[in-house]
Amino acid sequence: MAEWYWNQPDVPHVKEFVEAIKAKTGRVPAARHWFGFVAGWTCALGAEKAKSMKAVDIAKALQDFELPPEIALGPNKAFYRAGQNQLMATLYVGGAQAKGAAPDDLFKVDKTFAGSDVAGTLEDSGCKMAWPA
C-alpha cells in the first residue's frame, strides 16, 4: 500500500492502524496487513451478529454487512454485497514506482473508486450462492 494512502488525514482511524503496524514491524502497513485485519474482524463481527460460530450462520449475517470505520479504513463505505458476500471496498488505481516520497512508498495512487461503483451487478458477476439445506 502506498505511503500516500496511509497519510490521508481525512480517513478516520488510519493513523492508529499505521502506528500499531509500525510498532510491530518498523514499517508502514502493506495491503496484506489490511486484508488480514479485515478478515479477522469480519469473522469476529459476523459471528457476533449471527450469535453463532457456524459458518453458514456467519455467511448469512454478512449479507450487506458494513464494516465499521475503524476496520474499513478507507474513504468509502466497505461492505459485503448480498448474494455473494464479495467485499466492496475502496479501489486504488495507479502503478508501481521504484522510488516514492518514503522508502515504503512503492505504489503511486492516481485515483480511488468505491468498489460498489465499479463492480458491476451481481447478475453480471455470474456468482450464485446456494445455501445448504
The pLDDT assigned to 102 comes to 76
Segment 85-117, tens digit of pLDDT: 999 999 988 888 888 877 777 788 888 899 999
126: confidence class by pLDDT, cuts 50, 70, 90? confident
Segment 33-92, tens digit of pLDDT: 999 999 999 999 999 999 999 999 999 999 999 999 999 999 999 999 999 999 999 998
Chain position carrying cell 496484506? 32
Q: What is the pTM of this model?
A: 0.86
Q: Residue 45 corresponds to which cell in the numbers above?
A: 463481527
Chain position carrying cell 453463532? 52
Q: How far apart are the first and last CA of the chain?
A: 41
Residues of the chain with pLDDT > 90, as a percent, come to: 56
Model confidence at 1: pLDDT above 60: no
Q: How far is CA 87 from CA 4, 84, 111, in A?
A: 22, 9, 19
Give the pairing of strands 107-114 and 90-96: antiparallel
Domain chopping of the chain, boundaries: 3-125
Beta partners for residue 96, in sequence order = 107
- In angstroms, the CA 18 to CA 62 distance is 26
pLDDT, the chain, mean: 89
